Amino acid sequence: MLGDRNVGKTSIIDLYTKDDFRYDTYQTYGIDFFYKKKTFDNLEYKFKILDTPGSSYYSSLTSTAIQISNGYFMVFAVDDIRSFKKAIYWINFIEDHINLEEKVLYWLGNKIDEELENRQVTKEEAELFAKSKNFKYFETSARTKIGINEAFEEMFKDVYEMYKKNNEKNTNDHLEKNKKNNKKKAKDHFEKNKKENKKNINNHLEMNKKDNKNKSNYSQFSNSNYILKKYTNY
């Protein structure tokens, strides 16, 4: 989960994983880990949720989290235009490090429980930007629980589908590779046998040729002896 400071990232995670909302959440300085178990296709999976620091001072830690994650929540506070701009900064940061086509990224506008007059980023503005990046957009409130479960459930489903798709692709690639290797081995084996058979046939022909030659020489020698003997005796 990525975003600026004080946008409610930790409150959102606490609410979803512990069903607990606190006003006094601490600022994230490192990377905190949370877990949630979900079942897909009759198999249980354990998802690890990373809460990253909002300060760019910790960008190296955030970069590590980005590299090892399959999905991201980009969080901003709808009552703070600066957090919206900072979220855009993190989007650009992510795009410099990974191929987003291989990841799942959601855009979360938090703190929609605030008074309407305090809102600095409209829903239309946020949706328009999310659409331009081909991201899904959810509006949430850690205080009232609006949108939290829906966002996480959708995220886990999309991450699982991508994981499943990648596994199928890897399996198909592996099968195709084995198919090619087996085809090559069979061809090499056939060529080897072909050469050996050709060599054996040539050797056999040469041997028969020599045997026939020896027999011919022996026959000529026998005839000569017979003739010599015949005329000598005469």
**Model pLDDT, residue 172:** 64
Tokens of 36: 């949630």
Better-scored residue on pLDDT, 25 or 161: 161
Tokens of 14: 């606490």
CA distances from 150 to 91, 108, 188 (A): 22, 11, 56
**Model pLDDT, residue 56:** 58
Tokens of 116: 């309407």
* Number of residues in the chain: 234
Confidence of residue 229 (pLDDT cuts 50, 70, 90): low
Nearest-angstrom CA–CA distance, 46 and 154 = 15
DSSP state of 102: G
CA distances from 141 to 5, 15, 48, 119, 125 (A): 16, 10, 22, 13, 18
What amino acid occupies position 123? K
Nearest-angstrom CA–CA distance, 34 and 140 = 19
At 94-145, the pLDDT tens digits run 888 778 778 898 999 999 987 778 899 999 999 999 999 888 999 999 888 8
Mean pLDDT for the stretch of residues 165-169: 80
Mean pLDDT for the chain?
Answer: 79
**Model pLDDT, residue 218:** 58
Domains, the chain, ordered by start: 2-170 (3.40.50.300)
Better-scored residue on pLDDT, 18 or 181: 18
